[in-house]
Chain A
Amino acid sequence: MVLSILQGKYELNPAMNIQIQSDIVFDYDKKYSIRGENGSGKSSFVRNILYKSVSKNCKGKVQYIYFDQEILSQYYYVKAYVSMKEHKKINTISAFITKTIELHKANNIYNSNKLIIILDETDKYIDTTEVLALIADYECVFINISHSTNDNLKYDRIIEINKIDDNNATLKIK
């Protein structure tokens, strides 16, 4: 077990809560898909609960990569970093995703092949199988939010988020 989120009620944002019905356990070498309707709170769950848990429990121990749904800030940040450090240009978001993964591979200071990767709808910019090919060397916790259900990937767990009303959502694991 790398990471777990205990069952209970969590705040997604000031206007919305989520009820996690059973403990969620994330393991290496497993693929997780987070699914739900538009506005059900998938991205808020990843940003405000999952990412915070990863950052709190894994910083300084395990490498992690998180591509937010609002990817532009991250894109320009890495773009500025690469142009300063390597004097190279990144012109597309797909190139930025590839470069970020390569940077993590090159800066593997823990000498470990463990990685946690969270993708929030990056399939708009890059094929998810391409990302998987880039991280093939790693023992990975792979978490993906995607609207397309036919992405030909075999997931080990499906995490489903359903909106009950304007202020509440539930999370179930299949």
Chain B
Amino acid sequence: MQLSKSNRATLKIISLVILAIALLWLICYKYVSNIPFQIGYLIVANIIYATIFKPKANLKLWRIWYKKMIFLLVVNLLFAYLDIQFHLYDKLSHQIDKSIDFYHKMDHLEYHKQSIARIFLTLMNTILTLDAIILLISFSDLVLLPIGIEVKKKILFFRSIFNFLTEKVKLNDVVTDTIPEYQFHSKRNKFLDFKFLFKRNLISIFTMLKLVTEQSVILGQLIDNKITHSNFNKNDDKK
């Protein structure tokens, strides 16, 4: 029995969604505290990602996320220094009592080290999994889905925005160097001047928001126009 294109696309998307749920359940729930599993998953996921989408895409993903990871690491180290426990994560993994016992028995720094490793690995594994699953669902798969146009156009819209954000938006040196103040700032001072970093990053966030909202309007209109246009064509064919 041969499946129609539409059924094949539906089957592909359903399988990928089930796969995503299963993997996220493993990463974020079942083995959330299992560091060796998380490390193993990270290695395997990276190899698979680089094989399917080429090593450059994998590197790009890491390049996008490494600064956020460093930021997360700094915040968590601060938590460790102030000796704040992560009860929320322990609640999620149903290990609150064990964790508190564990916390009292072991060295505080060791507890925080494990927490930081867990947060970093869980987050990176989730990002890799979701990114791979989203990229595996192509535009043509979405168009072929047997669902109403109202829902379909929203899915297409979010997929287009995701593409725009990952492919087109580059807030790199070309962009920041446009401002003379940032061009002149020596690299040595950059890391010490928090006010400078805060302002520059705030401007980057504003730029990103503006680009996304602007692009949303353009893409939304474009998708609506295409739907209207193809409906007119269909009506013309019927006449």
Contact = CB atoms under 8 A, between A and B. Distances in A.
Interface stretch (B73-81, B106-114, B121-129, B165-173): B165-173
A109 B179 CA distance: 13
Contacts of B2: none
Interface in B113-143: none
B186 interface: yes
Nearest to A63: B180
Interface residues of B, number: 26
B181 to A, nearest CB: 6
B175 A74 contact: yes
A72 B175 CA distance: 10
B204 interface: yes
B207 A66 contact: no
Main secondary structure of the interface of B (DSSP, over half): helix
Given A14-B56, A107-B184, A81 B179 contact: yes
A80 B171 contact: no
B177 A103 contact: no
A33 B56 CA distance: 33
Interface residues of A, number: 28
A60 B207 contact: no
A84 B178 contact: no
A74 B204 CA distance: 10
B174 interface: yes
B26 interface: no
Interface string B186-202: 10000000000001001
B207 A77 contact: yes
24 contacts: A14-B56, A55-B173, A59-B183, A66-B178, A72-B211, A72-B214, A73-B169, A73-B170, A73-B174, A73-B211, A74-B174, A74-B178, A76-B206, A76-B210, A76-B211, A77-B176, A77-B178, A77-B203, A77-B204, A78-B178, A78-B179, A79-B207, A84-B199, A84-B206
Contacts of B202: 84
B211 to A, nearest CB: 6
Nearest to A67: B178
